Structure 1
């Protein structure tokens, strides 16, 4: 049951929550290909600095209703630029990349020149967590510190506002 659930969840995945070791889970867009997930990260793309060097990662996938349905361990394999896998998968990934500037070929060339990493996440068949073994808590984490977060000022009021 759970192996079929993992396979079906991987097929429908567009976003996966991926974490390496005890690091934070990151929402990363991915491309499902032949029962695996393909993820790109690096300069100008999504941030996952620990993923390219990892050998294992934990992947959380959602169901049709948007809720968590499966947590599984995956084997991580980096796809080398210029390899057969790169030639086959990078154009597919570039074609699915939303809001990319330029053509798919330009994007693939940029990934290769800028040192972006394309990794393949292959689900391990040993004991994925599915209902009823999923955690009961929300698994929400506080926002990570980022230079984009700024303190919010109180709004300017020209006149006194009466309370009712």
Structure 2
């Protein structure tokens, strides 16, 4: 099975992934899979991810949504995203237990 299809299936169901920017350890972060990219909101009331800056190389670790076992480690590049209202609404609605207020949103683009 092609890895992009495997990742797509897993990330559609994932609520969290592990992100490790270069030079930093992995952090379990809430993430949203949208339009072929992983979105991570940081700052404000959201998580902090040291080293997550525009252009940072990151290792994204994805677990199987059914077994929770390790599925893949993928190299990504963080890109600061300008979030439109539709994407902001999707980010807010995915957070069921809080009203998120973030400082930045990054797209983790597959290398």
1:32 counterpart = 2:19: no
Residue matched to 1:70: 72
Which secondary structure state, in structure 1, belongs to the residue aligned with residue 51 of structure 2? coil
Structure 1 residues 121 and 35, CA, compared in 2 at 3 Å: closer, same or farther?
same
Q: How does 1:3-152 map to 2 (within 5 A)?
A: 3-63=4-64, 64-80=66-82, 85-101=83-99, 107=100, 110-111=101-102, 116-124=103-111
TM-score for the superposition, normalised by structure 2: 0.84
Give the C-alpha shift of residue 30 in structure 1: 0.7
More strand as a share of residues = 2
| Structure 1 alignment gaps of length 5 or more | 102-106, 125-164
Deviation at 1:45, TM superposition (A): 1.3
SS of structure 2 residue aligned to 1:50: coil
Choose 1 or 2 for highest CA Rg.
1
Give 3-state SS (helix, strand or coil) of 2:54's partner.
coil
Bigger mean CA offset, 44-53 vs 9-18: 44-53
Displacement of 1:12: 2.1
Secondary structure, counterpart of 2:8 in structure 1: helix
1:2 aligns with 2:3: yes
Aligned equivalent of 1:147: none
Using the TM superposition, give the Cα deviation of residue 20 of structure 1 relative to its aligned residue in structure 2, in angstroms: 0.4
RMSD: 1.8
Distance 2:59 2:107 in 1: 13
TM-score normalized by the length of structure 1: 0.60
The one-character-per-residue Cα deviations of 1:45-70 (angstroms, maximum 9, x if unpaired) are 11113213343211000001011111
Q: Once the 2 structures are TM-superposed, how far is the Cα of residue 36 of structure 1 from its aligned partner?
A: 1.1
Q: What secondary structure, in the 3-state scheme, does the structure 2 residue paired with 1:45 have?
A: coil
Task: Report the Cα distance in structure 2 between the residues aligned to 1:2 and 1:96, rounded to whole angstroms.
Answer: 25
